[in-house]
Amino acid sequence: MRLPVPLFLALRYLRPRRTFVSVITIISVIGVMLGVMVLIVVISVMTGFDRELRQKVLGLNSHLTISSGATISNWQKNAALAGKRPNVKGVAPFIVGPVLAKFKGRVFTPFLKGVDVPSEKTVSNLNKFIIDGSLDLDGDKIVVGVELARRFGINVGDKVTIYSPRNFEDRKTAYLPAEPVVAGIFECGMFEYDFGFIFCSLETAQDLYDLGLSVHGLAVMTSNLEGVRQVQKDLNSILPPPLRANTWMELNRRLFSAIAVEKNMMFFLLIFIIIVAAFGIMSTLITVTVQKTREIGILKSVGASGGNILMVFLAQGMVVGSIGTVLGLGLGLTLLRYRNEFLEFLRRCTGFELFPREIYNFDQLPSQTNPQDLIIICGSAFLICALAGLFPAWRAARLQPARALREF
């Protein structure tokens, strides 16, 4: 198999000969490999976290929320209007707001969300998250999150005293606090909901907030998550002002924006591992150009152009970068494949839990590898390594044949 001359010479110069240059070359390859591996693992794990978090958020939240900034009095008419639109799977009214709760002398301030159970099942998975008791909100019954129940020792059948805003308003009529019975305990996997939310019937919430027949908003579930933007535009075109539909991403913008920023920051921080390895490649090539000054002079004297010499040393950087990138890609994907086994091995060896399940509420370390991320990581690593060889290659290309032969 005949290779191009620049590539043939580059491979010949990189051949291991138990010299200092060979050691630096191997270290540079290992550096690129580790950089690519760490980037692939970290970015894939963070992408997996983002995916799992989205699923958990959508577990108790609908794709769209219709609200006006105040209460909605004629919500039945608007719910029927929204429910007839294309790609709308379900519509459910809700009331949500903070309350003051008390249990066995301990006070806490969760959010109380009133829902209509039959329609709520069409827009969320609340019924699937019940781990104790049942989703029975008839009368004065509630369901609480598992973290809230654990923190305050609440069990199914207990009574919780709830003070709503009307209990603190300056009115002539005195309202007694509600004392609903805990009918069930839910666990969705997000601490914010498992600790901070109590669900009750829509009628109970209307009574506690003194709303009459009004609600705070309408939850809308679409048949296709990817088409939620189109459904939003459709609803906003027919809903009477000031009603407006907002997507779940808009309502959780700060959370997912923070994850995106963290992912980008991790990429730019970890790319420095590859940059450090690239400096190793540069130092290797500079050493090679010094050692091969005579050979460069001979090549130029027999007709090799500066471009030919430039390509020889650029090819060396590309070869080292390619080898390190390919090895890092393979090692990174292998580590992701056995990530949970590796975590278990570390736990047994060190006794330290690197991924506490009780904190993250994940049974396994999440991971999702996107081809686009792999292309960006591997492409960046190859480009950095190729650029690392640019200065030594330019220096070698500028050598004059007479001077190179005279010096050696």
Going along 17-155, which residue ranges are E strands?
64-67, 88-98, 100-103, 106-108, 111-115, 130-133, 141-145
Residue 176 is given by DSSP the state: P
- In three-state secondary structure terms, 135 is coil
Q: What pLDDT is recorded for position 303? A: 66
The helix or strand, by DSSP H or E, that contains position 197, with its residue range, turns out to be strand 197-201
| Nearest-angstrom CA–CA distance, 280 and 25 | 7
Mean pLDDT by 10 residues, the chain (408 residues): 64 60 75 89 87 79 86 88 88 91 90 91 89 89 92 92 76 74 89 89 89 90 86 89 86 77 82 81 74 69 70 79 90 89 82 67 78 90 84 72 58
| Nearest-angstrom CA–CA distance, 52 and 402 | 65
The amino acid at 327: L
Q: What pLDDT is recorded for position 219? A: 92
Torsion of CA 91, 93, 99, 104, to 10 degrees: -80
- In three-state secondary structure terms, 144 is strand
Q: What pLDDT is recorded for position 321? A: 84
| Nearest-angstrom CA–CA distance, 40 and 337 | 12
Residue 31 is given by DSSP the state: H
Burial class (CB in 10 A: 0-12, 13-18, 19+), 308: middle
Q: What pLDDT is recorded for position 200? A: 93
The β-bridge relationship of strands 197-201 and 161-163 is: unpaired
- Specify whether the backbone of 67 is left (phi greater than 0), alpha (psi in -120 to 50) or beta: beta
| Nearest-angstrom CA–CA distance, 81 and 91 | 10
| Nearest-angstrom CA–CA distance, 349 and 117 | 49
Q: What pLDDT is recorded for position 74? A: 84
CB 79 within 8 A of CB 65: no
Q: How far is CA 54 from the centre of its chain?
A: 8
- Closest CA relative to residue 124, chosen from 194, 62, 200, 193: 62
Ranges of H-type helices in 209-252: 228-238, 248-251
